[in-house]
Amino acid sequence: MRYPRTARHPRMILAVVGIAVGFAVVGFGLAGGAGNAPPPTTIPSPGASAALVPPPGTPTSQPVQPPSETLAPQGPPVIDVPATSACTSGEVNATLQGAGPYDNDPATAQQIISLSSTVPCYVSGYSELAFSTESGAVVSTTVSDGSYTGASQSVSNVSLSTLNEGSFLFQYVETQNGATSNCPLETALSIEIPDQSLTINVNMNGVGLLICGTVNVSPIIQGNSIDRYVS
């Protein structure tokens, strides 16, 4: 059954037309506003040729230079006033400084001991070394003067003070099997300079070593930089 169509009211038609016109006006306004808005700021990412400029007042630093692959001996430091008095045990400080220049092979493991003094004085000769464990047990080693890999050094008076430092190198065959009952971990080291009856406990900086057998030592020399031992 069909129902007869009802005629639309004129006011309803006008309302619909008005709403459509309103939407059109708003849409045109939005489009116009978007056209007048400033474009977004873009920050280019730095490329190979771009440089980042720090804000004004920001301190700048020089680029870090890579370390030289080849060490070259620089010679001993200059001592303005050589010491004239021999050092005593209470005046000298000894510290495990780090590896020597030929420490890249377990057969020539090397460490450098740095020496300084609270007062101007001198030391001379070869050091005797005594290694011990954390419990205080002394580990048997044989110390041999010379026969290490590196620059040949001669015995001389080495001036020490708070500004002047000396050092010596010791070399050993590094144990590859870890600590054992026959070769325990050494966490303490004392050195003795027989020519001066001088005994010093070394600051190991928390480092433990595995040294058993023969230890070859250099004489004490002026300066403590690693290049002093490069041949």
Domains of the chain: total: 1
Calpha distance 205→37 (Å, rounded): 65
* Higher pLDDT among residues 40 and 80, named by residue: 80
pLDDT of 43 over the 50 cut: no
Look at residue 145 and tell me if it is in a domain: yes
The pLDDT assigned to 72 comes to: 79
Look at residue 174 and tell me if it is in a domain: yes
Look at residue 214 and tell me if it is in a domain: yes
Task: Provide the domain limits for residue 140.
Answer: 92-226
The pLDDT assigned to 26 comes to: 41
Averaged pLDDT, 137-150:
94
3-state SS, residue 11: helix
Q: What is the CATH number for 165?
A: 2.60.40
Look at residue 114 and tell me if it is in a domain: yes
pLDDT of 172 over the 80 cut: yes
Look at residue 37 and tell me if it is in a domain: no
pLDDT of 102 over the 80 cut: yes
Residue 179 exposure: Cα atoms within 13 Å on the Cβ side: 10
pLDDT for 188-199, tens place per residue? Answer: 999 999 888 899
* Higher pLDDT among residues 8 and 140, named by residue: 140
pLDDT for 197-209, tens place per residue? Answer: 899 999 999 999 9
Look at residue 47 and tell me if it is in a domain: no
Look at residue 12 and tell me if it is in a domain: no
H helices then E strands: how many in the chain?
1, 12
User: Percent of the chain beyond pLDDT 90?
Assistant: 57
pLDDT of 168 over the 70 cut: yes
The pLDDT assigned to 53 comes to: 38
3-state SS, residue 141: strand
Task: Identify the band that residue 100 occupies on the pLDDT scale cut at 50, 70 and 90.
Answer: very high
**Closest by CA position to 225, among listed 166, 146, 152:** 166
136 torsion bin: left (phi>0), alpha (psi -120 to 50), beta (else): left
Average pLDDT, the chain: 78
pLDDT for 8-23, tens place per residue? Answer: 444 443 343 344 434 4
Task: Identify the band that residue 174 occupies on the pLDDT scale cut at 50, 70 and 90.
Answer: confident
The pLDDT assigned to 198 comes to: 92
Task: Identify the band that residue 229 occupies on the pLDDT scale cut at 50, 70 and 90.
Answer: very high
Two structure tokens written together for 108? 């020539």
How many other CB atoms sit within 10 Å of the CB of residue 27? 10
pLDDT for 65-88, tens place per residue? Answer: 333 457 777 788 989 899 999 999
Look at residue 69 and tell me if it is in a domain: no
Calpha distance 178→99 (Å, rounded): 19
The pLDDT assigned to 69 comes to: 52
Averaged pLDDT, 150-156:
94
